[in-house]
Amino acid sequence: MTDLIPAWIDATLTPVDKLEVHRRGLRHKAVSVFVLEGERVLIQRRAAAKYHTPGLWANTCCTHPHWDEPAADCALRRLREELGIEGLVLRPAEAVEYRADVGGGMTEHEVVEIFVAEAPADLSITPDPAEVSALRWISLRDLLEEVGDAPERFTPWLRIYLQDHRDRIFGRHAGSN
């Protein structure tokens, strides 16, 4: 079974295989989630077997919606699939579009709906090792410092979000650095 995602071809939204979308750099729909606990954000290190950007640190989770899948439903699905996280309330934060080289001859040209969720202190997390090699909670201030010191350790989209969209994603926490 192929993994079809919504992409635009000649201005028409069309289901296209995920790998083809990235090889051709087609503009496509995506979802990103940031889970916060107070001043900290949950980030993940992508598994070594991922088809692009393996081993790099990213936001809590991200994915592509299935055809006709609402973005919020997609975000909740991916939290459950990648991290075993359930029961969070999502808040839409921003819709952004970006284009970035993600290596291996692939390009992300995403129209992303970004969601934020506040986690309880006792949040249960059970990551799928095929998706996630490590997790950590980090303050936004420390994350910004690490990205500034070693940007190559972080996914292009996380760097874009932090540089261009930090205030809309993190709200009151964005100015605490």
Catalytic positions: 62, 110
Give residues with Cβ within 8 angstroms of 149, minimum separation 6. Answer: none
Give residues with Cβ within 8 angstroms of 139, minimum separation 6. Answer: 39, 40, 41
Q: Give dist(CA 160, CA 139) in Å, integer.
A: 18
Quick one: 40 exposed, middle or buried, by C-beta within 10 A (0-12, 13-18, 19+)? middle
